[in-house]
Amino acid sequence: MTDIDDVLAKLRQFVAARDWSQFHDPKNLAMLLASEAGELVAEYRWVKGDDADAHSQRPEPRARIAAEIADVGIALLLLCDRIGLDLGQAIADKLAANEARYPPDKSRGRPDRPA
Amino acid sequence: MTDIDDVLAKLRQFVAARDWSQFHDPKNLAMLLASEAGELVAEYRWVKGDDADAHSQRPEPRARIAAEIADVGIALLLLCDRIGLDLGQAIADKLAANEARYPPDKSRGRPDRPA
Amino acid sequence: MTDIDDVLAKLRQFVAARDWSQFHDPKNLAMLLASEAGELVAEYRWVKGDDADAHSQRPEPRARIAAEIADVGIALLLLCDRIGLDLGQAIADKLAANEARYPPDKSRGRPDRPA
Amino acid sequence: MTDIDDVLAKLRQFVAARDWSQFHDPKNLAMLLASEAGELVAEYRWVKGDDADAHSQRPEPRARIAAEIADVGIALLLLCDRIGLDLGQAIADKLAANEARYPPDKSRGRPDRPA
């Protein structure tokens, strides 16, 4: 994958050149992320589940989906950068917690937490 | 930042051990992302904007916020992996498009697209 | 349908008894709504589209879905009440606008806006 | 408030004239609701909390906010109608449950559930 640290460096320059960090408190960035997640959901809301993989490969919707995913990623990186959180480490920590929370033998083929 | 490719490798193992990829069509993953974004927003909904930076550093809320950010990141990585999209490249492409869409001189200090 | 004005009167009492209106500026209520919408989406994220109607009738998920729908409705009513907006009128106005935006003959069986 | 039953009757006609009920399974409608909630959040994401009430009264943003609230309301009514749920009753039931969950004396001025 393209290195995220390089992307983050570009993102910081983009924000600095526009003096936008004044708007980027963590509360506002959480809202940005939710609104971009909403736009991503909109791309799939009328697509049948069985067709969602193929839909994601068709050039026109794929370009829109990639742009919405990027917007979500930008919001997520901005938030992590703002609060000084290492996204990769946070995910690794959560996965470790989920290993215990969802034991493979009790969770196999069941998408929700075992009772 | 902790390398995202390493995290993605762990994430794939986690999903494979539970046979969860059957649930992870792109439509469902977009919904997962939206629901996790909603949980992240919930962490900030009663926090004043002026206090949101400090709130994000207090141990108890920070742990919850980090966990919610991780869940959003997991959903985002799962979706990118499912549709074969390079997240870092997608963000770099979107930033390049945004450079043209939001000219620095017309966008400085204005968070919305210039008319 | 149970009268919404009666429900709103109860909701106002509930909020007043807890002195919660101090938290309910429109920005925070929009966040509340988004987080509740995320919880509703979570109820359907692993359900197949073909099974979503039947799922919504099964007692256990139905009770959770009804509770999440109610939470979304509460957030929506609180926001409308806060900014002095007549929800029913707003919907009627939007439907009238949509009548022009989505002409029946061009929109029949197509869920998105005609090009 | 404008009667919601009247609005629902118009909404049913709108959908029927476009043959859109085929897209409106509960899963898709939950996604519609989440995407519309995201658009509503977008209206407030750069607004300061202290200015959110005044912002909601300025004609231009108010018109957009009213339209987004209407879209959320439409999605919510479509979902309730699809699964045969009385929205007003669901809200009344949830408020009754919340009365017990958030005792006034322990919840006064505290927006989160008492520990």
pLDDT value of position D90 = 98
**Cross-chain CB nearest to D2 (options C2, C57, C86):** C86
Buried b (16+ CB within 10 A) or exposed e, D65-102: bbbbbbbbbbbbbbbbbbbebebbebbbbbbeebeeeb
pLDDT value of position B1 = 82
CA atoms within 13 A on the CB side of D54: 5
Q: Which of A81, D32, A78 is nearest to B94 (CA)?
A: A78
**Which chain C residue has its CA at the smallest distance from A36's CA?**
C34
% pLDDT > 90, chain C = 92
**Which chain D residue has its CA at the smallest distance from B109's CA?**
D46
Asked whether residue B67 carries a pLDDT value surpassing 90, the answer given is: yes
Residue partners of A92: CB distance under 8 A and separation at least 6: B2, B6, B7, B10
Burial (CB count <10 Å: 0-12, 13-18, 19+), residue B29: buried
pLDDT value of position B113 = 63
% pLDDT > 70, chain C = 97
Q: Kindly state the average pLDDT of the residues C92-102.
A: 96
Q: How many CB pairs under 8 A join A and D?
A: 43
In chain A, what residues touch B83 (CB-CB under 8 Å)?
53, 56-57, 62, 65
Q: Are D73 and C91 in contact (CB under 8 A)?
A: yes
In tens, the pLDDT along C27-77 reads 999 999 999 999 999 999 999 999 999 999 999 999 999 999 999 999 999
Q: Which of A23, A94, A108, A112 to mutate to test the interface with B (most CBs of B within 10 A)?
A: A94
**Cross-chain CB nearest to A42 (options D35, D41, D46):** D35
In tens, the pLDDT along A10-29 reads 999 999 999 999 999 999 99
d(CA A75, CA A78): 5
pLDDT value of position C111 = 84
DSSP symbol at A84: T
Entry field: residues in chain D: 115
pLDDT value of position B114 = 57
pLDDT value of position B77 = 98
B38 CB neighbour count, 10 Å cutoff = 30
pLDDT value of position B68 = 98
- CB distance B45–C28 less than 8 Å? yes
d(CA C69, CA A14): 39
- CB distance D38–B34 less than 8 Å? yes
**Cross-chain CB nearest to A3 (options B44, B80, B88):** B88
pLDDT value of position D65 = 98
Torsion D94-D95-D98-D99 (CA) sign: negative
Ranges of residues in chain D with a pLDDT under 50 are none
Question: What is residue A34's three-state secondary structure?
Answer: helix
Which run of H or of E encompasses C109? none
- CB distance B28–C35 less than 8 Å? no
Judged by a CB distance cut-off of 8 A, whether residue C46 touches chain A is yes
* Cα dist from B24 to B33, B75, B79, whole Å: 11, 10, 8
Q: What is the 3-state secondary structure (H, E, C) of D44-65?
A: HCCCCHHHHHHHCCCHHHHHHH
d(CA D85, CA A104): 37
pLDDT value of position D112 = 75
- CB distance C46–B34 less than 8 Å? no
Asked whether residue A114 carries a pLDDT value surpassing 90, the answer given is: no
CA A81 to the chain's CA centroid: 14
pLDDT value of position A1 = 82
**Cross-chain CB nearest to B104 (options A18, A43, A91):** A18
The alpha-carbon radius of gyration of chain C (Å, integer) is 17
CA B105 to the chain's CA centroid: 28
- CB distance A28–D46 less than 8 Å? yes
Q: How confident is the model at residue A113 (pLDDT cuts 50, 70, 90)?
A: low
Asked whether residue B81 carries a pLDDT value surpassing 80, the answer given is: yes
Question: What is residue C3's three-state secondary structure?
Answer: coil
In tens, the pLDDT along A40-70 reads 999 999 999 999 999 999 999 999 999 999 9
Q: How far apart are the first and last CA of chain C?
A: 37
d(CA A36, CA D1): 32
DSSP symbol at B109: T
The model's pTM: 0.97
Q: Are B68 and A38 in contact (CB under 8 A)?
A: no
Q: Which of D45, D55, D78 to mutate to test the interface with A (most CBs of A within 10 A)?
A: D45
D115 vs B38 pLDDT, higher one: B38
- Dig out the tokens for B112 from the structure: 């919305």
Judged by a CB distance cut-off of 8 A, whether residue C90 touches chain B is no
Q: Kindly state the average pLDDT of the residues A71-98.
A: 98
DSSP C50-83: GGHHHHTTSHHHHHHHHHHHHHHHHHHHHHHHHH
Asked whether residue B91 carries a pLDDT value surpassing 70, the answer given is: yes
- What is the residue type of B11? L
Instruction: Provide the shortest C-alpha distance from residue B47 to chain C (in Å).
Output: 8
Angle, helix D87-101 to helix D59-83, in steps of 10 degrees: 100
pLDDT value of position D75 = 98
In chain C, what residues touch D104 (CB-CB under 8 Å)?
17-18
d(CA D14, CA D8): 10
